[in-house]
Structure 1
Amino acid sequence: MQQSQFSSGDVIADRRADYAKMLDEGGEADAAAELMEQALELTPAWAAGWYRLATYRERAGKVGSAIEAYRKTLLLDPEDIFGASLKLALLGDAEMPEQPPSRYVERLFDDYAARFETSLVEKLDYSVPQKLAALLAATGRKYSLAIDLGCGTGLLGPEIRARAGRLEGYDLSQKMLAKAEEKAVYDHLAQADLSLAPEACGVFADGAEYRADLITAADVLMYLGNLESVFAIVDRLAAASADFVFSVEDAGEGDGFHLAPSLRYAHTEAHVRGLCSRYTLEVIETIKTTIRQDGGKPVAGILFLARR
């Protein structure tokens, strides 16, 4: 997220914050923090500024004072659009949230929409849509209704359009949906919050009872943490023999999920298999693969093909 776009409302404070950002980018996090503190003396109620101060202090190794600044951010921003609660959990000051704040995820992707595909595909070697499409192609099936959950800018849509009679996409970010609309491959696009129960999530806003024979979720579940809500949505959507293809970040051995330093969640294969079993989905195939690069390092993931 680009906190720098949120002005303090004070020209001098903004100027100091800009200099602080330059210092941080130059590897001088300690000096950046000091200058950011001066900016906040002028604008003490600037939530975005406190978040930036927290990140500078954290990079400077001042964990205790970083925690104080993240707490202040959360106090000034109860909706937590900056994800301060996630940072506090990673720093050991709070329990791991089972879900990230919806406003944080929405704002994150609204900010990211304009450069999303360039960053993800060209710079981070993202190939999950093609890999999920290959899983589906191997089944040889055609689908009457496909629902793309967390469709984003619609990267998966063109890969599966030929296999679906009707294709619908749902996402939390309106700006991502606008980008998906430009591709002209979806028959219907709408906003939905997959962290909510089916009756509140927005997928069923018109009261319709869907019977989809394909449901997809490409690189979505790592922004959900606890996956009960999304599996409940899939359970209500899925017709008999429906396919559900999706990806997760691989948490390795064990049975559960955790919050990673990236502020995304990673899930174990055993945990996801358990969810599939509880929601009457048979796992047909799994593939362990690199799903993107992050900081120059490969991110391990698991692709699933499950069937009702």
Structure 2
Amino acid sequence: MLPPAFRSSGDLLADRRYDYAMAAKADGDLNAAADLLVQALEIAPGWAAGWFALGEVEAGRGAAEAAAQAYRRALAIDPADTLGARLMLARLGMGDPAQAMSSAYVTALYEDYAPRFEEALRRRLSYRGPEMLLDAVTRACAASGRPLRFATMLDLGCGTGLAGEVFASVAGAIDGVDLSARMADQARRRSAYRSVQVGDLGAFLAARDGATADLVVAADVFIYCADIGPILAEARRVLTPGGFCAFTVETHGGNGVALGAALRYAHGEDAVRAALATGGLEPLVFEPAAIREEAGRPVPGVAVVAAKG
């Protein structure tokens, strides 16, 4: 589903044909949907969302090349790729999945999602990522003889502040960052955070002095990062000696990093362990963790707590 800001072409006739096309698509009549979208785009040829929708319909009826052409038109109009056209091209085998995720896409996704984020994640998807990470951190502290107390925690991709709220009892000060301003606004309303910034998590880490945080948490964030090695290396730099980095990833049974149908990255165990080695972090906890459900089924994942030596 496209964010609301991208549904209108600015032309009433084109919008009506789009609406009829979406109704036809919902009824399973992809041929009619494609015809109606072509009509809409004849009226509004500079409408990125219309081309993106046509790409989805063409892909649905097995016309991969036509779908790719439509996605490329959307990308030419919207080079920041707010709609995720590169991701769709990668799914068609016509682009590098590792380079397909744009910050503009993730930002738009969560700007739209923010008002209903917690209800959807907690109630419909049974999301328990922060709680699972706190449990893993607690066990890592016990095993290493470290007190369960962290003077400064960084919350990467803090969203509405779920992780901050869960970790507040063991962290003295929590600083968060998120790409979405609307998500960050909700996090600021919680008493858990000292500060919440809007921006990229890599830049957020790079701007901090070294050895100034005791705990870095990334709950359900790396699903939008193909290569997490550089992020883990930056996390290590900002951690104090003996500090922890705790994170979750979605995973799959094979090797490497895969872009799934839900347009999220799943990291194989080999990829996660390689990223930890690149980042110079020693895993203390590395265990299966289904942090959410989809269609009533657990999504395979891994919870990791790693230490800076």
Shared fold by TM > 0.5?
A: yes
Contact 1:98 1:226 in 2 (8 A): no
Mapping 1:246-265, distance limit 5 Å:
246-254=247-255, 256-265=256-265
Q: Is the 1:3–1:48 contact (alpha carbons within 8 Å) kept by the matching residues of 2?
A: no
Where do 1:110-121 residues align within 5 Å? 110-121=111-122
Contact 1:288 1:303 in 2 (8 A): yes
Paired position in structure 1 for 2:13: 12
Of 194, 197, 200, the residue aligned with 1:193 is 200
Matches within 5 A, 1:179-190: 179-190=186-197
TM superposition shift of 1:275: 2.0
Q: Which amino acid aligns with 1:177?
A: A
The answer as to whether partners of 2:90 and 2:100 remain within 8 angstroms in 1 is: no
Shift of 1:60: 2.5
* 2:178 counterpart of 1:176: no
C-alpha separation in 2, matches of 1:171 and 1:216:
13
Aligned partner of 1:280 in structure 2 is 280
- Structure 2 counterpart SS, 1:167: strand
Give the residue type in structure 2 aligned to 1:252.
G
State the aligned residue count.
Answer: 301
Provide the rounded CA distance (Å) in 2 between the counterparts of 1:182 and 1:69. Answer: 41
Distance in 2 between residues matched to 1:30 and 1:292, nearest whole Å: 35
Aligned-residue offset at 1:131 = 0.8
- Cα distance in 1 for partners of 2:186, 2:27 equals 33
Which residue does the alignment assign to 1:292?
A: 292
Describe the shift of the 1:99–1:31 C-alpha distance in structure 2 as closer, same or farther (beyond 3 A). closer
SS for the counterpart of 1:61 is: coil
Range moving further from structure 2, 240-249 or 223-232: 223-232
**What residue is the counterpart of 2:131 in the other structure?**
130
Which amino acid in structure 2 is aligned with residue 130 of structure 1? Answer: E
**1:35-81 Cα deviation digits (max 9, x unpaired):** 11111110001001111111122222222211111111111111111
Q: Give CA-to-partner distance per residue, 1:196-233, whole Å, 9 cap, x none.
A: 4xxxx13454x644511111000001101111331132
The answer (yes or no) to whether the contact 1:215–1:238 under 8 Å persists in 2 is yes
Separation of aligned partners in 2, 1:203 and 1:307:
17
Alignment of 1:65-214 (within 5 A): 65-98=66-99, 100-138=101-139, 139-140=141-142, 141-194=148-201, 196=202, 201-205=203-207, 208-209=209-210, 211-214=212-215
- CA–CA distance in structure 2, aligned partners of residues 293 and 22 of structure 1: 28
Does the 8 Å contact 2:86/2:100 carry over to 1?
A: no
Instruction: Name structure 1 gaps, 5 residues minimum.
Output: none
Aligned 8 A contact 1:8 1:46 in 2 = yes
Q: List gaps (5 residues or longer) in structure 2.
A: 143-147
TM value normalised by structure 2: 0.92
CA-atom RMSD in angstroms: 1.7
Shift of 1:161: 0.2
Superimposed CA distance per residue, residues 231-275 of structure 1 (whole angstroms, 9 cap, x where no aligned partner): 132022111000111001112233x21211211111112221122
User: Percent identity of the aligned residues?
Assistant: 38
- Measured against aligned partners, the alpha-carbon deviations of 1:163-205 in whole angstroms (never above 9, x if no partner) come to 00111111111111011112221111002313x4xxxx13454
Secondary structure of the structure 2 residue equivalent to 1:112: helix
Could you tell me how far apart the structure 2 residues matched to 1:203 and 1:243 are?
Answer: 15
